[in-house]
Amino acid sequence: MANYKVTFVDIEVIKDGDPLDKGEIYWSFKVDGTTVSTRSVGNPVKVGSGGTITLGQSANVSKTSAAGVMLVVSGSVSEKDSGLSGKDESDSFTRNHSSGDAWGTTTPQVIRLTDRNLDVTLNYIVAAV
């Protein structure tokens, strides 16, 4: 067994999803199905285009290096829409890391999430501990 630490570093906001004001961003990120970092729709972070939301939450996991064993990182980022459409911008992802896929190398993992006026980049790291 090997131990790893998955750290959600930050969310870079390219387009905040709100054409008139700062976006109201909320999210949920999981490692192997367990929520590690979350912000609810009832408590979003107000941030404008070009801003960064610092996260810093992490989870420790143990994995074997056997063939077929995956470390699964998943989640979503959304922007609360209180305008006329009433539909929140939102995008989600699932990334399956195998033992040969930058586990423990501290190589930043980059996920681009987009929906209409929302465009963000999630940065996270899978490091050996």
- Whether 57 and 97 have beta carbons less than 8 Å apart is answered as no
pLDDT greater than 80 at residue 114:
yes
Q: What is the DSSP string of the chain?
A: -EEEEEEEEEEEEEEES-SSS-EEEEEEEEETTEEEEEE-TTSPEEE-TT-EEEEEEEEEEEE---TT-EEEEEEEEEE---SSS-PPEEEEEEEEEETTSSTTS-PPEEEEEEETTEEEEEEEEEEE-
pLDDT greater than 90 at residue 93:
yes
pLDDT greater than 70 at residue 104:
no
Q: How many residues does the chain have?
A: 129
CA within 13 Å, CB half, 55: 26
Q: List domains and CATH numbers for the chain.
A: 2-128 (2.60.40.150)
Tell me the pLDDT tens digit for each residue of 11-34. 999 999 988 889 999 999 999 999
- What's the pLDDT score for residue 27? 98
Rounded average pLDDT over 48-65: 94
Percent of the chain with pLDDT over 90: 70
- Whether the model clears a pTM of 0.85, i.e. scores above it, the answer is yes
Q: How many CB atoms lie within 10 A of CB 15?
A: 18
Question: Could you tell me the two tokens for 64?
Answer: 């074997």
* pLDDT-derived band at 95, boundaries 50, 70, 90: very high
* pLDDT-derived band at 73, boundaries 50, 70, 90: very high
